[in-house]
Amino acid sequence: MKKISLIFLLLLLSLTTVLYLTWEKSPKVKAINEESEQLLEAISEPCSLTLESVDKSLTNAKGVALIYKVQLNPPSFARTNISILAVHLPEPSSYGDFDSYEGFASIPEEISWRFKLYPTPEDNGPSWAGRFDLITAEMKNVEVQVRLSNSKTNKLGPSVLTNSIKYCK
């Protein structure tokens, strides 16, 4: 009888412990699962992204964005860099009162970054390139674009090349 009581007591204690640990870890397990899902949505850096023309008649207009971590001023923490190269773009003035292009990245309804793209003189029009090194936000749900710009008025125009960071590989 004592053996049965002792076995029963040990089984009851084991069951109580398992239930307690399951109950206590449930929020922790949920948090770990949510964090894992968020990491899956975030990109793996470094990666590159092809920027496609918004106007499908501009068949030669393309771009690429390189996205990776940089640490420029140690001991500060690493930040994200977006570098853009765009080729075979029309003259900005062909769209109206614009004289240059800018790189533009945004997390809709949260934050955006814009940076000047510089032309390099080449046959058949310039290539445009530039970078931004100071992004501290998590890089998910980001749209990367090349947009028209008026450097005198600081007016940002419509997107010419674009893509979502979810396609970054």
Q: Summarize pLDDT for 34-62 with one digit per residue, the tens.
A: 544 444 445 677 999 999 999 999 999 99
Give me the pLDDT at residue 123, please.
Answer: 87
| Largest interatomic CA distance in the chain | 97
Give me the pLDDT at residue 51, please.
Answer: 97
Give me the pLDDT at residue 40, please.
Answer: 41
Q: How many residues does the chain have?
A: 169
- Nearest 10 degrees: CA dihedral of 57, 64, 149, 115? 170
Q: Which of 136, 169, 166 is nearest to 41 (CA)?
A: 166
Q: 25 pLDDT exceeds 80? A: no
Give me the pLDDT at residue 75, please.
Answer: 77
| 8 Å CB contact between 116 and 102 | yes
Residue in the structure block whose two tokens are 């923490």: 77
- pLDDT, tens digit, for every residue of 113-141? 999 999 998 888 899 999 998 888 888 88
Across residues 89-118, what is the average pLDDT? 95
Across residues 146-165, what is the average pLDDT? 96
